[in-house]
């Protein structure tokens, strides 16, 4: 899961050797959550990490872990109205540990921004023009870019003097060939409205594909990897020699796999039908496909833990939802196998991919002819580390590779703002 595992304890009292600030705060603002980490880039140590979830509900929760020696995990529960309130609460927790946003050791704040459109292919220092472009892209990332903007603006209010850096989910996918990035629709219309497949979760796909190569003892250039990022939002990617050649999300994060609340692939005519025949408005269709579909639409739950519990109890709706989720996943594994031609590894990551052994087992079941198999004992191991779960004889390594979007964002942010040595 993207939640932090205690890293090497950091000595937060150490002064940076060059005197220049070396800490980066990373904010990963999701539709109803904020994940954050404070890292010291001099040695990569995590100083604090946490998560605010269920923002906007009565049952919001902030879990904060200072990773200094002796630091203890703290929790706040109770309503947190919006992302701005969530970030203020995070700032308070950091201040309580002597790691407040006013610290002179902070070099920059890095922000996950989900949609960067055509313009942003690299990490970017945020100014008014960048903010305006992220705002312009709200219609194509309606659950995400607004939350990202609140995170940026709140951080800018707290530290107007610091560089704020946007790291885009779409950036890693800009290497996709036109054959994968273009929809087969009228070219002039598509180009006029910049309608194409952008792909998301790119920071995670980049990090996990690299970590998978490392797990195999190879350079990223040497391996072809299928990455399955299965969180609340879920996407698959085909990575050839370190470069993305296809991914399952498209113009928006709605295309592709079955997700917690999103439908993934669907015949676009379903939307015409809902409007013309079922009398739904544009906004109602949007809410249906983004928030009331996927696992929650199929069985009333979007948490894979709950779905597995129900399946074990013999609940038929949960079992069907699980089967549909797996069927789609398996189709993408097969599709990306064909796209890549040769596959060295299939890597499972994010909340579901890292924790749900039943999903990994079912997704690979029956694919022995493709060289894919999972060893039941290895698959059952619970660990926070990257590991191979396929039997030794298998031609393709199946791996669990924990993602760390925050670390990757911190690295990219620091590389942009730190003066070259």
Ligand X SMILES: Nc1ncnc2c1ncn2[C@@H]1O[C@H](COP(=O)(O)OP(=O)(O)O)[C@@H](O)[C@H]1O
Beta bridge partners of 25: 38, 109
Measured from the CB atom, is 97 or 169 closer to ligand UVW?
169
Pick one of 200, 322, 348, 414: the residue that binds ligand UVW (CB under 6 A): 200
* Piece of 57-65, 81-89, 117-125, 228-236 that binds ligand UVW (CB under 6 A): 228-236
Asked whether residue 341 is marked as a ligand-binding residue, the answer is no
Distance CA(205)–CA(403), nearest Å, equals 8
Write down the least CB distance from residue 204 to Mg ion, Å: 7
Q: Is 253 one of the binding residues for Mg ion (CB under 5 A)?
A: no
Distance CA(383)–CA(398), nearest Å, equals 15
Contact of residue 200 among ligand UVW, Mg ion, ligand X, none (CB under 5-8 Å per partner type): ligand UVW
Distance CA(143)–CA(36), nearest Å, equals 18
Measured from the CB atom, is 21 or 110 closer to ligand X?
110
Measured from the CB atom, is 50 or 260 closer to ligand X?
260
Residue 59, SS3 per DSSP: coil
Contact of residue 169 among Mg ion, ligand UVW, ligand X, none (CB under 5-8 Å per partner type): ligand UVW
Contact of residue 207 among Mg ion, ligand X, ligand UVW, none (CB under 5-8 Å per partner type): none
Q: Is 242 one of the binding residues for Mg ion (CB under 5 A)?
A: no
Asked whether residue 354 is marked as a ligand-binding residue, the answer is yes
- Nearby residues of 247 by Cβ (< 8 Å), 6 or more positions away: 173, 176, 180, 197, 199, 200, 202, 205, 235, 236, 237, 238, 256
Q: Is 231 one of the binding residues for ligand UVW (CB under 6 A)?
A: yes
DSSP 153-180: HHHHHH-TTS-EEEEETTGGGGG--HHH
H or E stretch covering 354: helix 350-355
Write down the least CB distance from residue 390 to ligand X, Å: 20
H or E stretch covering 334: helix 316-340
Q: Which residues bind ligand X (CB under 6 A)?
A: 1-2, 30, 33, 231-233, 260, 302-305, 350-352, 355-356
Q: Is 231 one of the binding residues for Mg ion (CB under 5 A)?
A: yes
Write down the least CB distance from residue 265 to ligand UVW, Å: 15
Distance CA(135)–CA(127), nearest Å, equals 12
Q: Is 258 one of the binding residues for ligand UVW (CB under 6 A)?
A: no
| DSSP, res 142 | T
Distance CA(48)–CA(394), nearest Å, equals 39
CA distances from 144 to 56, 130, 169, 414 (A): 15, 16, 11, 23
Distance CA(38)–CA(46), nearest Å, equals 6
Q: Name the residue with the smallest CB distance to ligand UVW.
A: 233
Contact of residue 253 among Mg ion, ligand X, ligand UVW, none (CB under 5-8 Å per partner type): ligand UVW
Which stretches of the chain bind Mg ion, using CB under 5 A?
231
* Residues within the interface to ligand UVW (CB under 6 A): 30, 114, 144, 169, 200-201, 231-233, 253
- Binding residues for Mg(2+) are 28, 405
């Amino acid at each position: 899961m993207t939640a932090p595992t205690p890293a090497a304890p950091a000595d937060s009292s150490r002064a940076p050797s060059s005197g220049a600030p070396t800490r980066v705060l990373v904010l990963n603002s999701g539709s109803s959550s904020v994940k954050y980490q404070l890292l010291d880039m001099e040695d990569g140590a995590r100083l604090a990490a946490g998560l605010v979830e269920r923002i906007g509900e009565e049952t919001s929760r902030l879990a904060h872990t200072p990773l200094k020696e002796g630091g203890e995990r703290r929790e706040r529960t109770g309503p947190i109205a919006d992302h701005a309130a969530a970030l203020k609460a995070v700032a308070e927790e950091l201040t309580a540990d002597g790691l407040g946003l006013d610290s002179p050791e902070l070099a920059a704040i890095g922000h996950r921004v989900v949609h960067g459109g055509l313009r942003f292919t690299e990490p970017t220092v945020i100014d008014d023009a960048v903010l305006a472009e992220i705002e312009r892209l709200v219609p194509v990332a309606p659950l995400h870019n607004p939350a990202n903007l609140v995170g940026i603006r709140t951080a800018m209010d707290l530290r107007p003097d610091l560089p704020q850096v946007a790291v885009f989910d779409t950036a890693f996918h800009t290497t996709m060939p036109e054959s994968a990035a273009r929809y087969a629709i009228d070219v002039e219309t598509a180009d006029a409205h910049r309608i194409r497949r952008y792909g998301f979760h790119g920071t995670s796909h980049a990090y996990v594909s690299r970590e998978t190569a490392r797990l195999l003892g190879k350079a990223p250039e040497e391996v072809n990897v299928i990455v399955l990022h299965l969180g609340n939002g879920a996407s698959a990617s085909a990575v050839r020699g370190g470069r993305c050649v296809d991914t399952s999300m498209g113009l928006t994060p709605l295309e592709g796999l079955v997700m917690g609340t999103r439908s993934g692939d669907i015949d676009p005519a379903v939307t015409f039908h809902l409007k013309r025949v079922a009398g739904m408005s544009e906004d109602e269709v949007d809410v249906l496909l983004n928030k009331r579909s996927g696992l929650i639409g199929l069985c009333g739950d979007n948490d894979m833990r709950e779905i597995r519990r129900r399946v074990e109890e013999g609940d038929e709706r949960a079992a069907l939802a699980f089967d549909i989720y797996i069927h789609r996943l398996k189709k993408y594994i097969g599709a990306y196998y064909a796209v890549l031609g040769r596959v060295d590894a299939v890597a499972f990551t994010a909340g579901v991919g890292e924790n749900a052994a039943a999903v990994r087992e079912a997704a690979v079941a029956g694919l022995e002819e493709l060289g894919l198999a999972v060893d039941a004992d290895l698959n059952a191991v619970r660990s926070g580390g990257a590991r191979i779960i396929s039997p030794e004889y298998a031609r393709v390594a199946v791996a669990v590779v924990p993602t760390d979007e925050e670390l990757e964002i911190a690295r990219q942010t620091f590389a942009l703002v730190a003066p070259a040595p």
